[in-house]
Amino acid sequence: MVATPYLDDNPCRPRHFKPPPCVAIISEGPAMQALEACRSRLLITAVLFALVFVVVGLRVAEIALFEGGAAQSQIGRFRAVRAPAPSHADIVDRNVLATTLDSPSLYAVPKQILDPTDATSKIVRVFPKLSSADVHTKLTSGKSFVWIKRHLTPREQYDINQLGIPGLEFEHEERRIYPGGSLTSHVVGYAGIDNAGFAGVERALDDVLKERREPLPLSLDLRLQYILREELQRVIDDFTAKGGAGLIMDVNTGEILAMASLPDFDPNRPATPDPNHPGVSLVDRMFNRNTLGVYELGSIFKIFTVAMALDAGTSTLTSTYDASHPIAIGRFTISDYHGKHRVLNVPEILMYSSNIGAARMAIAAGAQKQREFLARLGLLRKPKIEISEVGAPHYPAKWREVNVMTIAFGHGISVTPLSFATAAAALVNGGVLRQATLVKLPPGHAPQGQQVISAKTSDQMRRLMRLVVERGTGTMAAAPGYLVGGKTGTADKVSGRHYADRKLLSSFVGFFPINAPKYLVLAMVDEPHPNKQSHGYATAGWTVAPATSRIVQRIAPVLGVQPVDEASPEVQRALLVESLQGKRLEAY
């Protein structure tokens, strides 16, 4: 008998079985401990985040509800990032004379240039003055660094950036800029491509400018500088002269308020020709006639001869010297230009500018006194000034009799205009020699200086130089109301070992107000030619004396000098030359 299997065809009948587990069951032990640690850490982190949010929320609520607008910004606690300080300090007067600006330079890494030919074409389109051949040679050199162009303008930098050429980079550099251009070129000077000073104050004080963070104030006044330069250029143009120079000085401090030398140059582009004077060489434009040029200045040197004789006591204002005949010494003959051909006293010798009288006065004093006096005034050494371009004087090694005579009227000795002005200031300021300076002094400060002549001699020299302008060779230098005193000088120029025919150096030194001198004006013109207005003359009385008058009348109001009544008793007494009182003076 076969057993029949039991078949349950009831689908609703429950089935009793245990399904397999779907996850692993972790038993007690290390695994369970690790799981619990993770849970604890997550809980702690959540609590911390909650605390932070609660604190922030409470602080926001406090500011909004209680402090309102009283809350202050905390930005001030953070330090602002500043641009790097410039490598050189600014040079200023009342305005900026020299400053430093950012000026990036373009260089290339040739190894990174993918297409040198295409890159060259694009670069030259931005810089048309660059040579394509030179640029291509640099880009194919295989070097790791080559300069393409130094000191780019912002527009040039933008155009190069727009090219997007890999391998072209910018180097941060600086460039010196001179807003005044040629106006102060011989004083301020200029700097090279790496900002190293090449001339003027830039060169002489290069180390000072590197270390200094504050601007360096100069004694210059651009208003006076403009007037001086304009009037000198007018004289040069009117008399078709080769060049000119001049300066304005405070006689009581030695500060140079203006100094101009013509022709000049633009320190922003020193090597670029002057479009107004294309025939003038770069050497002539760079040459500073005030500090580097040495000249035989002629008759303005007579003020030193007279001052020497009066101070040494070898002459007085009543001393007389025979000027009726020329002096023959060796192969030389000393004569007077428009001479009086008679005996002259000391005031007349200066007033009429007598070479003969000055020579005899110097001989009476002697060679030793003359040389010592000029040395005491600093005329036998290089001038000291904040400019590196200074010239050394030329004078005889042996001081013979003929030298004594010619030096008495400004021949046979050559000095810089700056040296002359520094010494001349001492003759009218009470007799104190002070070193000239281009750096501004504190208000009211006057350097101690050195007493080189007596106050009495200084007073006498003021009276005598006023006489020159009132009745002598310098009448055209008069500036009504400003009491100008001074001296003319016209010298024959040296050419080789001889004096050149019809080549003159005309100069005038003026002081105002001469009764209480404050300012000196020195004007010089090189090789002036006569014109119709000067009636055929090119001497100082017709060239630079009128220019000095115009300069004084223009700068006096700027300097705060008030005009006075020149005929007032007080002024007349202050400038009276007693030895001439009651005498009839001839016109020059």
Q: Are 213 and 84 in contact (CB under 8 A)?
A: no
Q: How far is CA 233 from CA 152, 223, 476, 531, in A?
A: 34, 16, 18, 16
Task: State both tokens at 416.
Answer: 């810089």
- The question of whether 299 is a catalytic residue gets the answer yes
**The 216-217 sheet, strands edge to edge:** 174-177, 96-102, 91-92, 216-217
Which residue has tokens 């020579």? 359
Say how far apart CA 394 and CA 380 lie, in whole Å: 8
Half-sphere exposure of 93 (CA within 13 A, CB side): 21
Residue of 185, 261, 299, 419 marked active site: 299
What is the helix (H) or strand (E) element at residue 494, kind and residue range?
strand 485-495
Q: Please list, in sequence order, all residues whose beta carbon lies within 8 angstroms of the beta carbon of residue 586, skipping any fewer than 6 positions away.
A: 340
Q: Are 123 and 104 in contact (CB under 8 A)?
A: no
What is the helix (H) or strand (E) element at residue 174, kind and residue range?
strand 174-177
Q: Are 338 and 323 in contact (CB under 8 A)?
A: no
Q: Which of 300, 239, 241, 232 is nearest to 489 (CA)?
A: 300
Q: How far is CA 145 from CA 108, 113, 225, 388, in A?
A: 6, 11, 45, 36
What is the helix (H) or strand (E) element at residue 197, kind and residue range?
strand 197-199
Residues labelled as active-site residues: 299
